[in-house]
Amino acid sequence: MTAMIERVDLISSILGPVERQFFDQSWRHESLCSQADSETFFPDVRAKTQAKNAKRICGQCPVATECLEFALSTHERFGVWGGKTPVERRDIARARNAATRPNADTNVRPALSMVAPVA
């Protein structure tokens, strides 16, 4: 947990004192990860088992939603937050961005004019 708190504190120091006030972190005191080894939540990219263990813990955590929202709001690039890996969080953020874009057409296909015809 110490590494996770240090990472959050690092984020806070980068964001600065004005921006920090916008992120409620009171949920951290109720998190189940505070009782686990922090390395479980910051696994090596190739450590699928370690990420699964973190996700299992997050699945039982009463503040997983708040944790995930914090990670999405601060653009956290590392670790399992709220039961989601960095790739999963990136996908959630992209989906949210696409949904909030005006006139977003999800059925748009790339132009085929750049592709040579197949003979």
Q: What is the pTM of this model?
A: 0.65
Distance CA(14)–CA(20), nearest Å, equals 9
Helices (H), 1-119: 2-15, 17-20, 48-59, 64-73, 86-100
Look at residue 26 and tell me if it is in a domain.
yes
Tally of domains in the chain:
1
The pLDDT tens digits of the residues spanning 21-47 come to 567 778 888 999 888 888 889 887 677
Look at residue 106 and tell me if it is in a domain.
no
- Name residue, tokens 């296909």: 109
Residues belonging to the chain = 119
Look at residue 118 and tell me if it is in a domain.
no
Please compute the mean of the pLDDT values over residues 8-26 and round it to a whole number: 55
Say which residues have a Cβ less than 8 Å from residue 51's Cβ, sequence separation at least 6: 43, 80, 85
100 labeled part of a ligand binding site: no
Look at residue 117 and tell me if it is in a domain.
no
Look at residue 108 and tell me if it is in a domain.
no
Distance CA(26)–CA(70), nearest Å, equals 11
Of residues 22 and 50, more confidently modeled: 50
The pLDDT tens digits of the residues spanning 58-109 come to 999 999 999 999 889 888 888 999 999 999 999 999 998 888 877 655 555 5
90 labeled part of a ligand binding site: no
Distance CA(115)–CA(47), nearest Å, equals 39
49 labeled part of a ligand binding site: no
Distance CA(79)–CA(47), nearest Å, equals 11
Look at residue 16 and tell me if it is in a domain.
yes
58 labeled part of a ligand binding site: yes
Look at residue 82 and tell me if it is in a domain.
yes
Look at residue 46 and tell me if it is in a domain.
yes
Does the structure show a pLDDT above 90 at 15?
A: no
Domain containing 19: what range?
Answer: 2-95
